[in-house]
Each structure stands twice: as C-alpha cells, then as structure tokens.
Amino acid sequence: MKIIFLGDIVGKPGRQVITKLLPDWKKEHNPDLVIANGENMAHGSGFTVSGFEEVQKAGVDFFTSGNHWPRKDDGLALFQNKNTPIIRPANWVGNIPGDGYKVIEVGTTKVAIINLIGQIFMHEQHNSPFYKLDEILYEIGNNAKVIIVDMHAEVTSEKQAIGWHADGRVSVVVGTHTHVPTADARLLLKGTAYVTDLGMCGGRDGVIGDDREIRTSQFLDQMPRKHAIQEDGPKQVNSVVIDIDSKTGKANSIERLDEVVE
C-alpha cells in the first residue's frame, strides 16, 4: 500500500497549489490513499465546507487536523457528520463533536487513522497523547493492520517520543503543526515510518505561510495586527510518500516529496 501524506494546508494558496500538483502526483506515484492535515485550510485557521470540498475534489481522500480544528462554525458540520473523512485530535478534552480516529477501507485493506495533539507549548490543555494512543490501539485491536498517526505538536522531542512509543505498533507516525519540513524521514527500529514534521502547503516566502511583513513587524514591536496569509510568490507542497506492507502493517519505506511552484 502506498500513501501520500500532505503537510498542513495553509489558506487559499495551499488549496490552490494542491489543486495544481496533486492530480499529476497521483498519476506519477499511484497512491492508494492521500491524507492531508487541513486545519489551516480556511485562511489559516479551521475548516469551511467549501474549502474542504475544493481540496477533496483535487484528490485528497482523508483529513486530519490540530489545534485550529474548531475555529470556524461552518467547519464544525464536517466533524458532526460521521461519514465525512475527517478527524480531530483524539486527546482533546470535553464532550465535543467529531472522532479522534477512524477505521476506513482502502480497497480490501482496513486502515486506522489516528489524530493526536501535543501537550507542550499549546494554548489549550490536552490529555496525554501517549496514554490516548495506547487506549486507541487497544480499541482497534486486530481490526486494522495498517495504522497511521498524525502527531500535531510544537516540540520535536514530544513528536520523536511518540514515534518511539508507537514503534512497531503502528505503520506510520508523521508530525505536523510547525509548517517547517524536517529532514529525518526514516524507518524506526521496529518498522514504523517516521518524520518529525511534514511541513506545509502554502506560500513559501512568508512566515510559516503567514504574511512576512506582518509577522516580522510583530516580532519587532510586539503589537497586534490582523492575520493575513502570504498570497504572492512561490507556493510549496511538503509531503511524504510511504510504502507499507498491508499484510504485516510494517512500513517498507518513507521518502520526502516536496515541490515548489513559481
């Protein structure tokens, strides 16, 4: 089984560059499943139904999220519908809409997709992603061999620790949230594919997808400014391609797949 996992989609530029590149990538790599973290899809924060449908039409099969998932009222409808291919962090607290993981069928193979969120340097308070992962894996049992985890977190050490905690028990652990791609895509010791951060899909010449002038000015004078996305200039897509043995659930390979569109 071959999977493409796209990094955080940031606003309209991210949606546009995926629409441009993904159809050709699917022809070239022939993935069985395309997943994307979409939590920044709606102008950098949350989901809208129209934006979701736009990216889904471009070829993304399933969506994970992170700390911004509930920011748009329109987007909450996506999580309330059990049939929508989307999940929010499983260790988010409270009685909230949506699912933290789903088991889907890809051809004849059952695939479990799990979304977790880190505890360190996040604004919200979350339960332990480590214990939540253990709980979910117990619930899944033998119902799925192929298991994919999106760990949405600020801190590289927390992501790496989740990778080792999950090694040999899941097929893939990808990190999201920082919007900066890391160069450590590899197989861990017990057969789990891992990368600390996928990166992002959006404007390359901004500050993690945001307008560079606004974000730089905030660091200079600490004054609040209206949020804006980097609309002009080159657009980038950061992702990985993972090959998995669907019978054993072990990963055979993981490679970065990155491209810039001028």
Please identify every residue annotated as catalytic: 68
Which among 185, 233, 253 has a CA at the least distance from the CA of 17? 233
As a whole number of angstroms, the distance between CA 157 and CA 172 comes to 17
